[in-house]
Amino acid sequence: MARVGRPAREDVLEKYEMMGVVGEGSYGTVHKARNKESGQIVAIKKFLEEDSNSFKIARRELRALRQLRHENLVNMLEHARRRRRLFIIFEYVDGTVLDYIEAQSSKRISGEKCREITWQVLRGLEFIHRNRMIHRDVKPENILYSKEGVAKLCDFGFARPNSIINGEVFTDYVATRWYRAPELIVKESTYDQSIDIWAVGCLLPEMLSGDALFPGESDVDQLYQVMSVCGPLPRDLHDSLRLRPEFYGFRFPEKQTMLEDHFRILRNLPVELEFIRKCLNLSPCARETACSLLTNSEYFLNDDFTRNKPDLLEKIHRFNAPVRHIIPKQSKSDLKFPTSTSKIPLTNPQSKRNKHQKVNAANSNHRLEQLDAHNSGFSSMPVTLSMPEIKSNAKQRKQKQKWSKAGTQKQSQTKLPKL
């Protein structure tokens, strides 16, 4: 097998027997395949490099896969080029969280399963954020979920280094609308890892109920739904809103609906409600971090979850056993913050975080460090890539969301008094 992170020989694809297409999109296609020698089932993602946008996504994804390694992120096995096309081979996981939701007769996931999935997603995000990167597209179909109950973040085509730290201005429009943080909706040019936490706050209610929390049909509608539940925008985001032509005359909600009234299933789930509120803070600087949520949130201090966590960790380790041979041997220093598995130069935390959060983050880092050293045989897995949307799910998603024309029409028809 080719060494992870290095270009593989063109004949590497001859090792695999194609078993059919399992996903496709504007970037290319994903095939299910079998290693002829070992029998291992893999997914092979083929990018169409002739398309400039697909090539850009492919380069970003490959760069992220080389830099990040963790067991709650999917693992790249190798990659190859053939006839101006890039192929990335990664471990095969047989479903996504979206698939799992739709497979339930009630179209919702049990409370304990939601807790396990959310914990694993945050575990992967904490590692990404610790290494000064942002996923930028967290949503149910970008979380692989195995029949064994192991969750892995995937699809790193939009992953980028933190813009607040390196001063870079982002110009491309990222994140699927329903999970898009308000700073992205008003098109702030710089943002940080807190946009991923907002998406987690949208993810949990959807898993609990089967319905999207804020299913906006346009950017105007999306922001209106967010503000009707979360309240008025902070001053800096309000100022950005005033500069955007598409929001001229935006009609602010006349009254705010409490989150538990907007999503009634949360009325009897006070711990989940508090967790979601921490994720959905309209101010990016005041939004909780993945690290603080993992270590300080009452949501994960539940007695049953605490008691079952060692079994869950063992399940995660066991699921990753087939790819353990591509994981660099860890030293004790690899279990400390910052991790030595990242190739990204680490810098000081962003100055916009307030002092209270910095103290919490420091305490959280210490507690996570102890937990990782005690519970994890290996905390870092070679990340990969995405298990894309299955065709049927993509069609269902498109029917539900109606992104483009329908959203644009509704936006243009909305009566908008002046600011």
Q: Which residues are annotated as a binding site for ATP?
A: 46
- Paired with 41 in beta bridges are 34
Nearest CA among 269, 270, 265, 228 for reference residue 250: 228
Pairing of strands 28-35, 85-91: unpaired
d(CA 1, CA 7): 11
Question: What is each CA distance from 111 to 82, 115, 155, 259, 305, in whole angstroms?
Answer: 46, 6, 26, 18, 11
Other CB atoms within 10 A of residue 388 CB: 24
**Phi, psi of 374, rounded to the nearest 5 degrees:** -80, -40
Which uninterrupted H or E stretch holds 18? strand 16-25
Task: Return binding residues.
Answer: 46
Cα of first residue to Cα of last residue in the chain, in angstroms, is 60
Other CB atoms within 10 A of residue 331 CB: 9
Nearest CA among 32, 60, 63, 35 for reference residue 46: 32
Question: What is each CA distance from 18 to 15, 32, 408, in whole angstroms?
Answer: 10, 6, 40
d(CA 260, CA 193): 26
- Given the residues 137, 196, 219, 372, the one annotated as active site: 137
63, 26 in Cβ contact below 8 A? no
Active-site residue, 11 included: no
214, 222 in Cβ contact below 8 A? yes
- The one-character DSSP state at 93 is -
For helices 303-319 and 355-375, what crossing angle results, to 10°? 60
Q: Which residue has the tokens 């990659």?
A: 79
For helices 194-209 and 270-279, what crossing angle results, to 10°? 150
> Known catalytic residues?
137
